[in-house]
Structure 1
Amino acid sequence: GRKTASSSVGSTDCCLSRIMSQWKAMRDRSAECNRAVLVSVAQFDHGVSLGRRPGAERDTKRLHRTLSKLGFKVDIHNDLSSDEMYTLFETESRRPVKDCFLAVLSSHGEEGCVYGADGKPVRLSHVFSLFDNAHMEKKTKLFFIQACRGGDLDDGVEVDSAEGDATEDSITQYMSVPIDTAVMYATAPGYGAFMHPLGAVFLQTLCTLLEEEGGQNLELTRLMTRLSHRVAYTFEAKGRVLGGKKEMPCFLTRLTREVFPFAEPRKDTDGLSATSLVGTKNVKNRIPSIS
Structure 2
Amino acid sequence: LNRCQSPSPYPIHQSQLIFHPASSRRRMDDSGECNRAVLVSVAQFDPGVNLGRRPGADKDTKTLHHTLSKLGFKVDIHNDLSGDEIYQLFLEESRRPVKDCFLAVLSSHGDEGCVFGADGKPVQLCRLFSYFDNEIMEKKAKVFLVQACRGAGLDDGVEVDSAGDSRDFSQHLSVPVDTAVMYATPPGYGAFMHPLGSVFLQTFCTLLKEDGNRNLELTRLMTRLSHRVAYSFQAKGRKYAGKKEMPCLVTRLTREVFPFAEPGKDSGAAGPSATSLLDTQHESTRNPSIS
Per the normalisation by structure 1, the TM-score is: 0.79
Counterpart code for 1:201: V
1:85-124 residue pairs with structure 2 within 5 A?
85-124=86-125
SS of equivalent residue, structure 1 residue 144: strand
Task: Please give the per-residue CA displacement for 1:79-135, whole angstroms capped at 9, x wherever unaligned.
Answer: 000000000000000001000000000000000000000001000000000000001
CA contact (8 A) 2:185 2:191 kept: yes
Distance 1:100 1:116 in 2: 25
Distance 1:248 1:191 in 2: 9
In the other structure, the counterpart of 1:48 is 49
In the other structure, the counterpart of 2:243 is 245
Counterpart code for 1:59: D
1:225-240 residue pairs with structure 2 within 5 A?
225-240=223-238
Distance 2:94 2:162 in 1: 34
1:112-191 residue pairs with structure 2 within 5 A?
112-161=113-162, 167-191=165-189
Counterpart code for 1:252: V
Percent identity of paired positions between Structure 1 and Structure 2: 77
SS of equivalent residue, structure 2 residue 106: strand
Counterpart code for 2:75: V
CA contact (8 A) 1:31 1:96 kept: no
Distance 1:87 1:29 in 2: 29
Cα-Cα RMSD: 2.0
CA contact (8 A) 2:215 2:265 kept: no
Counterpart code for 2:221: L
Residues 86, 257 of structure 1: CA spacing in aligned structure 2 closer, same or farther, 3 A cutoff?
A: same
Distance 2:225 2:160 in 1: 21
Per the normalisation by structure 2, the TM-score is: 0.79
In the other structure, the counterpart of 1:197 is 195
Distance 1:267 1:50 in 2: 45
Distance 1:127 1:151 in 2: 23
Counterpart code for 1:71: G
CA contact (8 A) 1:30 1:96 kept: no
CA contact (8 A) 1:37 1:75 kept: yes
Distance 2:84 2:221 in 1: 33
SS of equivalent residue, structure 1 residue 135: coil
Residues 51, 174 of structure 1: CA spacing in aligned structure 2 closer, same or farther, 3 A cutoff?
A: same
Q: Provide structure 1 residue ranges, at least 5 long, that are not aligned to the other structure.
A: 1-26, 269-273, 279-291
Per residue, is there more helix in 1 or in 2?
Answer: 1
CA contact (8 A) 1:32 1:97 kept: yes
2:78 aligned with 1:77: yes
In the other structure, the counterpart of 2:34 is 33
CA contact (8 A) 1:148 1:187 kept: yes
Distance 1:267 1:174 in 2: 33
Q: Provide structure 2 residue ranges, at least 5 long, that are not aligned to the other structure.
A: 1-27, 269-291
CA contact (8 A) 2:172 2:250 kept: yes
In the other structure, the counterpart of 1:66 is 67
SS of equivalent residue, structure 2 residue 143: strand
Distance 1:76 1:131 in 2: 19
SS of equivalent residue, structure 1 residue 91: helix
Task: Please give the per-residue CA displacement for 1:25-71, whole angstroms capped at 9, x wherever unaligned.
Answer: xx988852100000000000000000000000000000000000000
SS of equivalent residue, structure 2 residue 235: coil
Residues 267, 235 of structure 1: CA spacing in aligned structure 2 closer, same or farther, 3 A cutoff?
A: closer
Greater RCO (Cα-Cα under 8 Å, separation 6 or more)? 2
Larger radius of gyration between Structure 1 and Structure 2: 1
